[in-house]
């Protein structure tokens, strides 16, 4: 067979600053300011890498007079963010407003309808409206990019869509919320209660004044839905995802986890099974030997299981001005280079509506903690409840507290379906000897 020679002709004129790429930014919080700083401080470097200069030309925010530490002189100011879409010189619109609807959604729709590329760090917007926006982008020959929406400065979406494109991904899981990881880390290190660490985290700026989205797992759920969409070629699906946060994690659970060889982490999980796709946000016990167990403080981490690559691990800063702005600028550079591909790795029309695995069908092992009266017959009642659901115990720890406060009984189960584990909790709750609502935590061994 004769040799085949491929000849590639490059038509890139490097440092062609006569035709700069013009960017409009909606939202001038810490990330928006960070984007301006990167484009300003690395202007020459980016021009060399892209082949043309990149310039901010228009901005929009709630307050024009606020001092943000960057010079906005020379930028067109828009009181209404959607005006950015109609400014002729704007090539790319960057949305950093937040929220799944309202101004952010209106701006996304208007921008893509004009054929301009749209870049966002807004995980709620993409998790809820991702397929609609991906369709709009393709219909109008525009690019929709959202690397900064998941895991801050970690290029996890690009890794899934490009670096692991040759793999059939069976699952992924990760620590996707720095606030929760910070709280759990301090609870473990300092033996503090959840409420005390949360209050301190709010004072230090690690947690919002209203921390609901973080501590109740909603932020992690948005990110998990996006990761699953790219990994499995499916439309983002928030409706089918069970979500549980960390409000009910107590210091005693963290101590028992350590004794049993685990560490508690809030995880976003996405797996393909024979019965459907499982996506879920849960506090889980992770073996101390696992890579995720050693990810502490506000750091994020994601593990992806590919059939040819095997497990790959991505660790880094999950939030903050620099890391998140870095991912936004990476998207700008990709668009500037013409590196455009479908938002979720496959055409929007090909995104599947895959069946969701019901939460109670999950099969796994569980940690259960009870606080009970220290009296004869308690263990007989407990074992009878376990027998009714055909659940067997792998390990059991019984330890007293104060004489008038009862005793803790902690058990881990053998493999069982979640519906049986939840039924056991109902049986336990109904027992007169049980002094407080039982605690159930999934064990994940990966």
Q: Which residues are catalytic?
A: 223
Alpha helices, DSSP H, located in 87-242: 102-113, 123-139, 156-158, 178-190, 194-204, 212-215, 218-232
Q: Please check whether residue 392 is in contact with residue 334, taking contact to mean a CB–CB distance below 8 angstroms.
A: no
Q: Which two tokens stand for residue 69?
A: 């530490």
CB-CB neighbours of 114 under 10 Å: 16
Query: What whole-number distance in Å separates Cα of residue 123 and Cα of residue 236?
Result: 11
Query: What whole-number distance in Å separates Cα of residue 300 and Cα of residue 221?
Result: 14
Task: Give burial (CB, 10 Å; 0-12/13-18/19+) of 87.
Answer: middle
Task: Give burial (CB, 10 Å; 0-12/13-18/19+) of 422.
Answer: middle
Q: Please check whether residue 117 is in contact with residue 143, taking contact to mean a CB–CB distance below 8 angstroms.
A: yes
CB-CB neighbours of 154 under 10 Å: 24
Give the contacts of 267 (CB within 8 A, at least 6 positions apart).
173, 174, 175, 220, 281, 282, 283, 284, 286, 292, 444
Q: Which one, of 373, 365, 347, lies nearest residue 412 by Cα?
A: 365
Give me the residue label for tokens 């591909």: 341
Cα of first residue to Cα of last residue in the chain, in angstroms, is: 47
Give the contacts of 337 (CB within 8 A, at least 6 positions apart).
50, 51
Q: Which two tokens stand for residue 20?
A: 């700069």
């Amino acid at each position: 067979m004769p040799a085949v020679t491929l000849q590639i002709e490059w038509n890139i004129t490097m440092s062609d600053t006569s035709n700069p790429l013009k960017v409009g930014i909606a939202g001038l919080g810490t990330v928006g300011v960070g984007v301006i700083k990167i484009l300003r401080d690395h202007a020459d470097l980016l021009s060399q890498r892209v082949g043309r200069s990149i310039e901010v030309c228009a901005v929009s925010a709630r307050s024009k007079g606020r001092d943000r530490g960057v010079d906005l002189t020379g930028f067109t100011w828009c009181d209404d963010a959607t005006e950015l879409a109609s400014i002729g010189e704007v090539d790319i619109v960057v949305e950093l407003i937040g929220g799944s609807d309202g101004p952010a959604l209106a701006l996304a729709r208007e921008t893509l309808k004009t054929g301009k590329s749209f870049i966002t760090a807004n995980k709620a917007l993409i998790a809820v409206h991702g397929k609609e926006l991906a369709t709009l982008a393709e219909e109008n020959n525009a690019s929709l990019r959202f690397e900064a929406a998941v895991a801050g400065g970690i290029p996890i979406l690009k890794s899934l869509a490009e670096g692991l494109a040759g793999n059939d991904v069976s699952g992924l899981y990760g620590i996707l919320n720095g606030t929760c990881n910070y709280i759990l880390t301090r609870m473990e290190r300092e033996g503090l209660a959840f409420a005390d660490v949360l209050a301190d985290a709010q004072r230090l700026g690690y947690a919002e004044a209203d921390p609901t989205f973080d501590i109740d797992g909603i932020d992690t759920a948005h990110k998990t839905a996006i990761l699953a969409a790219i990994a499995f070629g499916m439309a983002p699906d928030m409706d089918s995802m069970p979500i549980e946060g960390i409000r009910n994690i107590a210091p005693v659970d963290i101590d028992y986890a350590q004794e049993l060889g685990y560490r508690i982490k809030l995880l976003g999980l996405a797996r393909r099974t024979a019965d459907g796709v499982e996506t879920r946000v849960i506090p889980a016990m992770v073996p101390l030997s696992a890579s995720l167990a050693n990810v502490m403080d506000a750091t994020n981490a994601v593990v992806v299981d590919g059939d040819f690559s095997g497990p790959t691990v991505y660790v880094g800063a999950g939030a903050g001005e620099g890391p998140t702005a870095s991912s936004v600028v990476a998207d700008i550079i990709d668009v500037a280079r013409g590196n455009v591909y479908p938002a979720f790795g496959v055409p929007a029309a090909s995104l599947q509506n895959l069946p969701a695995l019901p939460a109670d069908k999950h099969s796994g092992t569980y940690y259960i903690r009870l606080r009970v009266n220290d009296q004869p017959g308690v263990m007989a009642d407990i074992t009878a409840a376990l027998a009714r659901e055909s659940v067997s115990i792998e390990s059991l720890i019984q330890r007293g507290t104060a004489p008038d406060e009862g005793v803790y009984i902690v058990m881990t189960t053998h493999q069982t379906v979640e519906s049986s584990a939840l039924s056991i909790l109902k049986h336990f709750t109904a027992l007169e000897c049980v002094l407080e609502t039982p605690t159930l935590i999934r064990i994940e061994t990966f």
